[in-house]
């Protein structure tokens, strides 16, 4: 009985976002997640394009936030920002793991914007695919400049914390939404996460806890602010069956008008100003391309719904517009709904329990990806 009640504390998850710094730490008690602390600081506008100034700001504010909230220990999990990495799908002949690592380094030479000799390269083997009637293996290549990684480590060291591991944003997203109890039946379902960030958009597909697709779309989300303030849509909050059964993430389902008494009519049909329309259309085209790529690989596991996360997912008009373009059911994801409600608010927490915390998805996943103690 004592072992069941013992608190398992996860490392601190640190998300160095381009518009905000988010730090979170969780514990698991008797199979349930509890919040130890959560802290957030907005990046000043004049520093968002200043790399050196932003790094100094991160160091100062990480120290201050860790002191201001009751975080336990110094171990932390961080991640390399998506815009500093190359993530690309490759199809290669089937080979042994050692040969594959050598082949990936050779393949990366023509794709990397920096010298492959100074690159840190990792990969995820997705599985077997057929191309021109030949069996090949689908691989997700992930690479970053060694200099950029060292700068990231220096930033963390200056913040007086100990790195448990450095993860990838896409992997953190999947980890934050995959089932905590490891049920294998979810491997048969394709989960698409669209992280609407301020500097770029990440499109990720996972089968259960395994990432099988990832692409970064370099569209500047700030342009989307041109979506008219008169736009609106109908929404109601509920949990899908799969998430409800696991006691995990609540979502807001984006729906059309005339859904009954449970729906709340917010306004009229969305309209988009001319400056935003091309950006929205380009993003829809990119995400549809991602869906087609995945569905050709896994024709028996097609993407059936989309979950929007990230800072811009709070713009519900934007999410509705994208969902309409994709022609798929869409949801606003809040992974923090998994946390025991009684522990989410208080002086230890900067979470807003009155809204969907979609912008905390990466930090949440980073915390859970660390080794608990």
What total of structural domains would you count in the chain? 1
Of the two residues 161 and 225, the one the predictor is more confident about is: 161
Measure the CA–CA gap between 373 and 371, rounded to whole angstroms: 7
pLDDT at residue 256 greater than cutoff 70: no
CB 251 within 8 A of CB 334: yes
CA–CA separation, 281 and 278 (whole Å): 5
Q: Domain limits at 277?
A: 2-369
Reported as a single tens digit per residue, the pLDDT across 78-107 is 998 888 888 999 999 999 988 998 999 998
DSSP lists the bridge partners of residue 131 as: 134
Q: What average pLDDT does the chain have?
A: 81
Specify the pLDDT at position 197. Answer: 87
Lowest-confidence segment of 10-14, 17-21, 132-136, 250-254 by average pLDDT: 250-254
Beta sheet of 85-93, edge-to-edge order:
85-93, 134-145, 119-131
* pLDDT (mean) for 203-227: 78
pLDDT tens readout for residues 6-58? 789 999 999 998 889 999 999 999 888 999 999 999 999 888 878 888 999 99
Residue 81 pLDDT: 82
User: Three-state SS for 332?
Assistant: strand
Q: Which residue has the higher pLDDT, 44 or 314?
A: 44
The confidence score (pLDDT) of residue 5 equals 57
Reported as a pLDDT band with limits 50, 70 and 90, residue 114 is confident
Query: What is the C-alpha radius of gyration for the chain, rounded to an integer number of angstroms?
Result: 21
Q: How much is the pLDDT for 254?
A: 55
Query: pLDDT class for 62, splitting at 50, 70, 90?
Result: very high
Q: What is the pLDDT of residues 144-203, one digit of tens each?
A: 999 999 989 999 889 989 989 899 999 999 998 885 544 445 666 899 999 998 888 999
The pTM of this model reads 0.84
Residue 320 has a CB neighbour count (10 Å cut-off) of 25
Which CATH number characterizes residue 69's domain? 3.30.420.380
Rounded distance, CA 254 to CA 10, Å? Answer: 33
What is the rounded (10 degree) CA torsion for 11, 171, 255, 264?
10
Beta-carbon-side half-sphere exposure of residue 251 (alpha carbons within 13 Å): 25
77 has a pLDDT exceeding 70:
yes
55 three-class SS: helix
Residue 228 has pLDDT above 90, yes or no: no
Residue 275 pLDDT:
61
Q: Which helix (H) or strand (E) holds 28?
A: strand 20-29
Helix (H, G, I), strand (E, B), or coil: what is residue 368? Answer: helix
């Amino acid at each position: 009985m004592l072992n069941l009640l013992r608190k398992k504390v996860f490392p601190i998850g640190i998300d160095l976002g381009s518009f905000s710094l988010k730090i979170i730490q969780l514990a698991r008690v008797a199979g349930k997640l509890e919040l130890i602390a959560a802290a957030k600081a907005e990046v000043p506008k004049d520093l968002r394009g200043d790399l050196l100034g932003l790094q100094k700001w991160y160091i100062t504010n990480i120290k201050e936030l860790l002191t201001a909230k009751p975080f336990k220990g110094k171990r932390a999990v961080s991640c390399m920002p998506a815009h500093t990495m190359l993530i690309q799908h490759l199809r290669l002949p089937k080979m042994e793991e050692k040969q594959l690592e050598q082949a990936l380094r050779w393949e990366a030479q023509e794709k990397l914007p920096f010298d492959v000799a100074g690159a840190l390269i990792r990969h995820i083997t997705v599985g077997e695919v057929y191309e021109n009637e030949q069996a090949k293996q689908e691989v997700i290549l992930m690479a970053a400049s060694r200099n950029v990684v060292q700068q990231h480590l220096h930033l963390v060291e200056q913040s007086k914390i100990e790195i448990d591991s450095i993860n990838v944003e896409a992997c953190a997203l999947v980890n934050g939404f995959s089932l905590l109890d490891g049920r294998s039946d979810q491997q048969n379902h394709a989960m698409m996460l669209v992280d609407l960030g301020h500097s770029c958009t990440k499109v990720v597909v996972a089968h259960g806890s395994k990432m099988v697709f990832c692409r970064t779309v370099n569209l500047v989300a700030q342009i989307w602010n041109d979506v008219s303030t008169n736009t609106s849509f109908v929404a109601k909050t509920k949990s899908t069956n799969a998430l409800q059964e696991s006691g995990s993430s609540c979502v807001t389902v984006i729906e059309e008008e005339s859904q009954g008494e449970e729906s709340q009519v917010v306004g009229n049909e969305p309209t988009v100003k001319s400056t935003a329309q091309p950006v929205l259309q380009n993003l829809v085209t990119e995400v549809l391309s991602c869906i087609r790529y995945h569905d050709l690989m896994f024709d028996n596991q097609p993407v059936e719904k989309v979950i929007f996360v990230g800072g811009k997912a709070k713009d519900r008009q934007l999410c509705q517009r994208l969902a309409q373009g994709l022609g798929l059911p869409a949801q606003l994801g809040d992974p923090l709904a998994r946390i025991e409600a009684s522990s989410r608010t208080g002086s230890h927490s900067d979470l807003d329990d009155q809204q969907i915390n979609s912008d905390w998805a990466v930090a949440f996943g980073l915390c859970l990806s660390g080794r608990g103690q």
